[in-house]
Structure 1
Amino acid sequence: MKLGTIVPEIATARPVRARIEQAELGEDVALIASKAGDRMAYNPRVIDALDARLALNVGCAYTEGELVDGLRELGRNATHETGRRLYALILGEIDRTGDAPGTMRQVLDVVQQVLAEQLADEAGK
């Protein structure tokens, strides 16, 4: 796996506002990023959305907004592989759709549906 363009460290007090997206890159290229760290494209066939963000975070301080930054940190701090994979999946869907709030609404709808089904099952026992 190659990282393509390596992002240099940026000495800045404020995080750079980054745009991260999925892209068809060479089959062995994981990601490419601008030198400023404000744009990155990653190949989802080679690297997942969470690992791409963590790789970018090594080179510079950046933000994608409170919602996505929070998901990135939850994924980084996940203590189980299943949790890490869940956050990677959600981040990948956000990248695919370009709609963080809409994606999170869909995730919440699914969680509410699962919880309602579990409560109904428990009430029927």
Structure 2
Amino acid sequence: MIKITHDDFDVNAMISKARTPKMGALVTFIGTVRDDGMDMLQFEVYEEVAITELEAIEAEAFGKFEIESVDVIHRVGDLLVGENILLIIVGAGHRKAAFDACEYILERIKESVPIWKKEIGESGERWIPGEAYNS
């Protein structure tokens, strides 16, 4: 499943849904808004292109690693400290493939998915320069 949403997601429910009897490993990455002196992060997305790119990254991961499943959920909008931003779940028969694929997917998202973030706090607002997505 590939999804971009304004709504929070239930990590445990998503993990339960992703499990299958063929999996010996289920690796998750949960990105959250950290407290580093700002009040919130604002995420903006070019949704059509982002979904297409996420689907391409998913296909790449299936081509490069021996994995069973990939789920990616990314939130957009205004997110407060402690809130979930990104969930990646990779299921595989073996842990190495699951870990490697999860890291690959995360790095590819940062490189090419058109999602941008802005820090908002007492000292003002600033867009985070650099990668298409920088977390």
**Higher relative helix content:** 1
TM-score per shorter chain, which class?
under 0.3
Q: Which has the larger radius of gyration?
A: 1
**Higher relative strand content:** 2
Alignment TM-score, normalising by the size of structure 2: 0.24
Higher relative contact order by CA 8 Å / sep ≥ 6: 1 or 2?
2
